[in-house]
Chain A
Amino acid sequence: MPGWFFIITRSLIFLLLLFITTKILGKKQISELSFFEYVAGITIGSIAGEVVTGLESNMYHGALAICVFGFITFLVNFLSIKSKKFSDLVEGKGTVVIKDGKILENNLKKEKYTIDELSALLRAKDIFRVADVEFAVLEPRGNLSALLKKENRPLTPKDLQMKMAKEKEPQTVIMDGNIMDEPLRCSGKGRGWLYTELEKQGVTLDNVFFGQVDSYGELTVDLYDDKIKVPQAAQRPLLLATLKKTQADLEIFSLSTDCDQSKAMYKKNAAIFEETIEKLAPFLNG
């Protein structure tokens, strides 16, 4: 048989073998988090390459080597889960290189990093001043994780003591004009609801390329025809505006009436409205 035939069959067999090995080892193998996965990843790849093109070598030996590497990595992963000491030994621990804004030279030397390399890693994280860093660790994979000092961190709603509404993940309910039943059920809706919503927006199902339901049960759609404008879901901001308007109306009534009793009633309800608006604002904004 000609050589190209062997190469094709071997390629197919080894591709399948590599696929199965990585599937068994899982996502961790793809991300090559620890030393073992790194080494196994490289070696398995080169063994496969060697065997596929080198027709003089024995195919079964190559397959055996891949299985051994795969099995050892699997075993190491398994033991790492069972024992912390073992995982520290094989996967390594992070090394603290910056603490309280000061570089720990000894640890840096131990990892054989120069100060230039460290500052390059910091710059990759958009940090140009070492003094801004509270704490930084060199991870076993060689990447750097840095914690900025509190005053240099980006501002969050928590810093401003703003109350934010919780959000559930949006569900994709329409793809390519087909209704996805499972996400629809996850969002607690049915097909009937979806048809009503589509009708409200004035579009047909087969014209919708993509549709998502957010945590407030609002449907946003993207159409095949990009020239058609779909009304934006503005129910909640509009409701907030209506609430504010009604509150102002109640205030006006309380000022314009002469009857003391109704004056008090209007005032009380205007106050209730104000409170309600405050309560609802995080949920109705945006």
Chain B
Amino acid sequence: MTVSSNVKQCLSTIKGIEAQLSSLALNSLDEEAKAVFHETALTMADVKKDLQYRVLELERQEPQYQGS
């Protein structure tokens, strides 16, 4: 496994976490839990952006691994 594929895997895990947090935020009944889930989902979105940028950078540095 190359570095870029590792980072990509991590990125998709973060996407999954974000989706699960959003679904928990919608399904929870308690207002506080809702707020915390929503807030953390937004934090995940920020982290996701950073990693996406890094993936692009890695692809530019090692074009031979593009798409893998």
Judged by a CB distance under 8 angstroms, whether A45 is at the interface is no
Judged by a CB distance under 8 angstroms, whether A280 is at the interface is yes
Prevailing SS type, chain A contact patch = helix
Complex CA distance for A192 and B19, rounded to whole angstroms: 20
Judged by a CB distance under 8 angstroms, whether B66 is at the interface is no
- Contact check, B46 vs A272: say whether CB atoms are below 8 A apart: yes
How distant is B51 from chain A, measured CB to nearest CB, in Å? 7
Which of A188, A236, A253, A279 is within 8 Å of B7, CB to CB?
A253
Which of B10, B14, B24 is within 8 Å of A216, CB to CB?
B24
- Contact check, A283 vs B6: say whether CB atoms are below 8 A apart: no
14 more A-B contacts (CB under 8 A) besides A279-B36, A283-B24? Answer: A166-B30, A166-B33, A215-B30, A216-B24, A216-B27, A217-B26, A236-B24, A239-B20, A246-B17, A253-B7, A265-B54, A272-B46, A276-B44, A279-B40
Prevailing SS type, chain B contact patch = helix
Q: Of residues B20, B26, B29, B40, which shows the largest number of chain A Cβ atoms within 10 Å of its Cβ?
A: B29
Give chain A residues whose Cβ lies under 8 Å from the Cβ of B47.
269, 272-273
Judged by a CB distance under 8 angstroms, whether A232 is at the interface is no
Residue of B nearest to A259 (CB): B57
Q: A residues engaging B (CB < 8 A)?
A: 165-168, 187-189, 215-218, 235-236, 239, 242-243, 245-246, 249-250, 253, 256-257, 262, 265, 268-269, 272-273, 276, 279-280, 283
- Contact check, B54 vs A242: say whether CB atoms are below 8 A apart: no
Residue of A nearest to B44 (CB): A276
Residues 6-34 of B at the A interface (beta carbon under 8 Å): 6-7, 10, 13-14, 16-17, 20-21, 24, 26-30, 32-33
With A246-B10, A272-B46, A273-B47 as known contacts, state yes or no: A165 contacts B30, CB within 8 Å: yes
